[in-house]
Amino acid sequence: MQISPEQLSHMIPSNDEVNEWCDELNRAFDKYQINTPKRIAGFISQCAHESADFKRLEENLNYSRKALESVFGRYFGSGKRDAAEYARQPQKIANYVYMDEFRSKRGALGNTQEGDGWRFRGKGLKQLTGRNNVTRFAKDFNITPEKASDWLETKEGALASALWFWDTNNLNATADTGDVAKLTKRINGGDIGLSDRERRYNLAMQALTGDMPSRANFSGSVRIGDRGNNVKLVQEKLGLAADGIFGSGTDAAVKKWQAENGLTADGIVGPKTYEKMIG
């Protein structure tokens, strides 16, 4: 089963390199038997959540002090290290929180050599993390862990790592159940981000089963207070929950997008905004 750029754009609406990703995915799907709507929707939705629509191929560790205490409360806060000394320093953060000597499960990541925390931070569509995991991945491709770490930052390597993880853990069988919570637990170990993963799965199934609104149907303009498929198209492109209701959240997101793209930030998706946003 092959997917079209239009279908993929519906699944990862904020990505501007859909054609390139579509080619990479279609070449790989047959090899790994990701060849049914449920398997494709499962794979793409999970990867899209982990990588922000296939745009973030390495972990963003540019945390503020407050964010560090929230996300890495085990390492920062009262009686622990001062988060202010690490804030906005991604490399320093990684070389603390991802080094085995500072973790409760010693040896889990295998980061024991100087700089391993940063070198083997989360990378790829699956955000593969730690020397141990990258070493297992690298072994199957006959390359060193260090070379694999660099490869994970490319489209080819990022996708290869996600496919490797999917295949190694026999996730086609889990995807066949259509149970997003179960698939998430197999991948993530819990239910972190489950609501977003379910939303993305539903978007993917819409695209694969022909139940998505056609871009050719977009006409006129949409603004705050409007409803319908045209609003859904805009929301999907902005990575919002596509409920078809142009409320204050959609209005703010449109204005922000317009400002970032050199357009008048009036919140109205007319011909100029539509052409540049959706094409």
pLDDT value at position 213?
54
- Asked which of 208, 234, 251 is the last residue of a domain, the reply is 208
Q: Looking at the structure, tell me whether residues 233 and 271 fall in a common domain.
A: yes
pLDDT in the model for residue 214:
52
198 CB neighbour count, 10 Å cutoff: 15
The confidence score (pLDDT) of residue 38 equals 97
Residue 271 forms part of a structural domain:
yes
- 127 is a domain residue: no
Residues 250 and 116 in one domain: no
pLDDT at 221: 79
Residues of the chain with pLDDT under 50: 216
Indicate whether 256 belongs to any domain: yes
203 and 239 belong to one structural domain: no
pLDDT in tens, 61-88: 999 999 999 989 999 988 899 999 999 9
* CB neighbour burial string for 145-172, b if at least 16 within 10 angstroms, e if fewer: beebbebbeeeebbbbbbbbbbeeeebb
Q: Please report the pLDDT score of residue 101 as a whole number.
A: 93
Same-domain status, 174 and 221: no
Please provide the average confidence, as pLDDT, over all residues in the chain: 90
Q: Are residues 155 and 50 in the same domain?
A: yes
Any idea what the CATH number is for the domain that residue 227 is in? 1.10.101.10
Write down the pLDDT at residue 55: 92
Sign of CA dihedral 240, 9, 60, 127: positive
Query: Are 191 and 220 members of one domain?
Result: no
Domain co-membership, 112 together with 242: no
- Range(s) of the domain holding residue 234: 215-277
Q: What is the distance, to the nearest Å, from the Cα of residue 217 to the centroid of all Cα atoms in its chain? A: 28
pTM of the model: 0.72
Residues 189 and 235 in one domain: no
Residue 81 within any structural domain of the chain: yes
Token pair recorded at residue 138 = 């690298």
Are 160 and 194 found together in one domain? Answer: yes
Pair 102, 224 in one domain: no
Q: Quick one: which of 79, 18, 69, 72 has its CA closest to 237?
A: 18
- Residue 220's pLDDT is 63
- The per-residue pLDDT for 163 is 97
- Domain-embedded: residue 249: yes
pLDDT at position 18 is: 92
Give backbone dihedrals phi and psi of 173, rounded to 5 degrees, phi first: -65, -40
Boundary (domain end) residue, out of 103, 121, 139: 121
Among the candidates 173, 193, 208, a domain finishes at 208
Residues 121-154: tens digit of each pLDDT: 999 999 999 999 999 999 999 999 999 999 999 9
243 and 193 belong to one structural domain? no
Does 25 map to a domain? yes
- Confidence (pLDDT) at 210: 79
Overall number of domains in the chain: 3
